[in-house]
Chain A
Amino acid sequence: MELFAMFIASVIVYGIPLLYGTVGEIITEKSGSLNLGVEGIMAVGAIIGYLVGSKADSMFVAMLFAFLAAAFMGLIFAVLTVTLKANQNVTGLTITTFGLGFYFFIGKAVGSDWKLLGGNLKEAYANIDIPLLSKIPYVGDMFFSHNIFVYLGIIIAIVVFIYLFKTKAGLKTRAIGENPAAADAAGINVNLYKYLNIIIGAGIMGLGGLAMGLKMDGSFEGSNCWINGYGWIAIALVIFAKWNPLIAIAGTFVFGFFNSLQVYSGSFATSYPNAFGWLASIPTEFYKALPFIITALVLIISSIRKKKVPDEPTAMGLNYYREDR
C-alpha cells in the first residue's frame, strides 16, 4: 500500500509540469496558432525563473520571471507569425532550437557559481498539506499533500477553461481559431487577440518549466535539459485532451501514470510478483512511447469520426492575412 501511495504521488508530481505546457498550448492553439516551441519556451522560463528566483531568494520572483521570460519567447513567436507572417511550424521549431541553446548557454556561463535549490525557494517548494483532507490515511498523502505547483496548475487549468468557454473574450478567441476572416468581419481585433493568447499561453508554459527545474532540485547538468521532452508530450496531450483544459487535468495524470510506471514497474513486479510480475516483461521504452502512440490513435480516430464541430481549431497553423482572398 505504501508503494501505491508513493506511486500515485509521483504520478501527480511528475505529471503536473505537463499540465502547464498543455494549458498554455491550448490557449495558443485555440487562437489559431500552432506553437511547436513549447520545449524551448519551457526551458527559457525554467532557467531564467530559477536563476532570478534563487538570486532573490523568493518563489514569487521565480514564478514571475519564469512567466515573463517565457512570455517574451511567446512575443517573439507572435511578432514573427502574426505580424511578419512567418511559417508557424518553422518559427516554433526555431523557438525550440533557440530556447534549448539559450538554456545551455546560460547554464554554462554561470558555471561553478550555480546554486542548488535552497533557502526560501526550497521552503516554498515543500509540500503543502491541505487541512483535514491531508490527514486521511493514504488518500491524504496521495492527493492532498503536494507542492504549490500542483495546486496552482489545477487552478490555472480551471481558470483557462472558464476563460475559453464561459467568457466573451474566450468566445472571440475561439472564433479566431475557427475562422479568422469571419471574426475579423465581425469586428474582432484578430491580431490583438492572437498576440494576447500566444503570450499568456507561453507564460503559463514557463511556469511548468520552472516546476520541472525545481523538481530536479535545480541541478544543472551539462548534457540533459530539465524539460527533457516534456514540451513535446504537452503538444501530444493537447490533442488527447481535445483542446479542453479540464480534460487536460485528467490527461496529465494519465500521461504521468505511464511516466511513473517506467520508474515503478520494477518495484511493483518484485513486491507483488503474482499480481504485477508481468510488468517486468514490458520494456520501459514502451511506456515512453505510449503517450505518443495513444495521441496518434486519438488523432486518427477523431478524424475518422468527423464530428460536426471538430475539437481541433479549424484555422490552426494557418496565418491570417486580411488581403488574401
Chain B
Amino acid sequence: MTKQVDYSLKHRSEPLFRVSKRNGLEKWKIALLYVGAILVALTFGAILLLCLKVNPFKFYLDTFTLGLIGNAIPLKIISNFINSFVPLLITSLGLSLAFKMKFWNIGGEGQFIIGALVAASIGIGLGDKVNGFFLVILMCLLGGASAGIYGLITAVFKVKFGTNETLLTLMFNYIALYLLIFFGQTKAGWNILLDPNSDRPMFVQIPEAAKMWSFSVGGLTINTTLIIGIAIVVLLFFYYKKTKQGYEIAVVGDSHNTAKYAGMNVSKIILRTVFLSAFIVGLAGAFKVASSSFRLSEAITDDVGWTGIVVAWLAQLNPFGILLVSFLLAVLQFGITSSSASYSNLDANFADLLQGIILFVVLAVHFLINYKIVVNKTKINAKKMAELKAKGFEIIDLTISKNDKKSEIVSDESTALENSEVSEKTEALKITDAEGGNE
C-alpha cells in the first residue's frame, strides 16, 4: 500500500511570514523594550552630536540634569521646569479623553489658545473689579468653558453630519491662532489685551489680582497648577475605571454600534466627552496665563497642543502613563534648551530632532508589543518533502482528493518520518499547518 502525505494547496501558497496580534506581553518585557528604544534613539542623537564635535556624554548629562549641576539658582530652574511641564501634562490629559473615544481631537493648539485668550481678557478686564480669589476661578472656568465650546462645535458637526473631525479640528487650530495674532497686532481703544504704554503692539501683563496662587516649600516656589494637574491624573484614572461615564467612553471607543445596541446615546456621549476634553485643554491655557507667562504671546502654546497628542498616544491613554511620558518629554525639551545654550552650532531645535527620533523608534516598538511576526515553516519544508518522497510517501492534496476517512492524523512531518519506520499500515498522513501558535 502506498503511503500518502497531505500537502494541500493552501499550505503551499502561504507567504513566508505574516503578522498576527499578540495577546499581551509581560510587563517587564514591555518596559525593557521601551528602555531599549530610548537608548537606541539617544545613540542616534549621540552620533549626530559627534558629527558636530559635541561631547554627547556631557551634553546628555547637562540635558537630563536640566542644567542644574553647578547652577547658582537651582530652585528657580526647577520652578521654571514645572512651569513648562504642567501645560503639557494637562493638555495631554485633556486630549486623551477624546482619543479614548477614537475622536481625533487634534485641535489642542486652538483650544489652548482660546482658553488662554478668554482667561487673559477676563483677568485684564475685571482685574480691579472682582476679588482676586473669585477672579482666578472665573478666569479658569470661563477659559476652560470657552475652549470646551470651541471643541464642541467640531463635535456637533461630527455627530450630525459625520464631518471629518481630524481635519476640522486642524483648521480650527489656525483660526484660533490668527485670532490671537489679530488681538496681538491690532492697536485700538477696545483692545484691552495690548499694553497702552507701548508704541508698538505688545500684550499687556495681567494684573496682580489675576495671578494664580503659588506656595513655597523650602524656598522652592511651587505652582498650584502642578497640584491641580496631578489631581486631574488621579481623577481621570477613577473616571475611566469607576464611573458609568468612563465606561460609556470605553464602549463608544470600541464600537459605536455596540454602544447603540446597549442603549447608550452615542451622540450625547461624544458631545459631552469632547466638551470635557477641550475644557481641560482650555484650562491648561488659562493656567498658563494665570500662573506662569502672565501675559499672552503668539507662541503661548509652546506647541503643547501638538506634543500632547503624541504624549497621550505613547502613554496609551493611561493617565499615569501620561504623567510619566509628559514628564520625560518636558525634561528633554527643557534640558536641551539649557544644554544647547553653550554651543554655537546647536540650538533648542535639537530637542525636536531627538524627540522625533525617539518617537520613531518607540512607535516601532509599539508594533513589537502589539503584534508578532509568525514565520510559516511550510515553505522551508520543501527539503523534508523530498525526504518523505525518498521514503516512498506519495504527496497528495487532501483538499482535492478527500480520501482522509481512514487517515491517521499525525501532527507534523517529522513524526511522519518516525512513524514511517514503525507503522507501514498508514494510508495517509496529514501534515497540519506547521505553525499554529496563535490559534
Give the residues from 158 to 187 in chain B that come closer than 8 angstroms, CB to CB, to chain A: 161-164, 166-168, 170-172, 174-175, 177-179, 181-182, 185-186
Q: Is the interface of B mostly helix, strand, loop or mixed?
A: helix
| Structural contact, A235 and B170, CB atoms closer than 8 A | yes
- A90-B313, A283-B185, A285-B178 given as contacts; is B164 within 8 A of A303 (CB)? yes
Q: How far is the CA of A268 from the CA of B346 in the complex (A)?
A: 43
| Structural contact, B309 and A89, CB atoms closer than 8 A | yes
Complex contacts, A289 vs chain B, CB 8 Å: 174-175, 177-179
Closest residue of chain B to A77, judged by CB? B360
| Structural contact, A323 and B170, CB atoms closer than 8 A | no
Contacting A98 at CB < 8 Å: which of B157, B174, B313, B356?
Answer: B356
| Structural contact, A222 and B185, CB atoms closer than 8 A | no
Question: Which of under 10, 10 to 19, 20 to 34, or 35 or more describes the interface residues of A?
Answer: 35 or more
Contacting B52 at CB < 8 Å: which of A86, A109, A292?
Answer: A109
Closest residue of chain A to B48, judged by CB? A105
- A34-B166, A108-B349 given as contacts; is B310 within 8 A of A90 (CB)? yes
Report if A102 contacts B (CB, 8 A): yes
Q: How far is the CA of A297 from the CA of B147 in the complex (A)?
A: 20
Binds A, one of B209-217, B261-269, B361-369, B380-388: B361-369
A-B residue pair count with CB separations less than 8 angstroms: 159
Q: How far is the CA of A93 from the CA of B306 in the complex (A)?
A: 7
| Structural contact, A89 and B166, CB atoms closer than 8 A | yes
| Structural contact, A105 and B353, CB atoms closer than 8 A | yes
Contacting B353 at CB < 8 Å: which of A98, A111, A239, A299?
Answer: A98
| Structural contact, A102 and B353, CB atoms closer than 8 A | yes
| Structural contact, A97 and B355, CB atoms closer than 8 A | yes
Q: Is the interface of A mostly helix, strand, loop or mixed?
A: helix
Q: How far is the CA of A281 from the CA of B266 in the complex (A)?
A: 45
* B152, chain A: closest CB distance, angstroms: 14
Contacting B168 at CB < 8 Å: which of A84, A97, A300, A317?
Answer: A300
| Structural contact, A108 and B345, CB atoms closer than 8 A | yes
Complex contacts, B20 vs chain A, CB 8 Å: 323
Report if B352 contacts A (CB, 8 A): yes
- A236-B171, A304-B161 given as contacts; is B357 within 8 A of A98 (CB)? yes
| Structural contact, B359 and A97, CB atoms closer than 8 A | yes
* A146, chain B: closest CB distance, angstroms: 28
| Structural contact, A285 and B172, CB atoms closer than 8 A | no
| Structural contact, A95 and B371, CB atoms closer than 8 A | no
- A105-B48, A235-B167, A296-B175 given as contacts; is B363 within 8 A of A91 (CB)? yes
Q: Which 7 A-B pairs have the closest CB atoms?
A: A98-B356, A101-B352, A101-B353, A104-B349, A289-B178, A84-B367, A285-B182
A residues apposed to B, CB below 8 Å: 34, 36, 76, 80, 84-87, 89-91, 93-105, 108-109, 111, 222, 229, 232, 235-236, 239, 283-286, 288-289, 292-293, 295-296, 299-300, 303-304, 306, 312, 316-317, 321, 323
Task: List 7 A-B residue pairs with CB atoms under 8 Å apart, sorted by A's residue number.
Answer: A87-B363, A89-B309, A97-B355, A97-B356, A98-B352, A303-B157, A304-B161
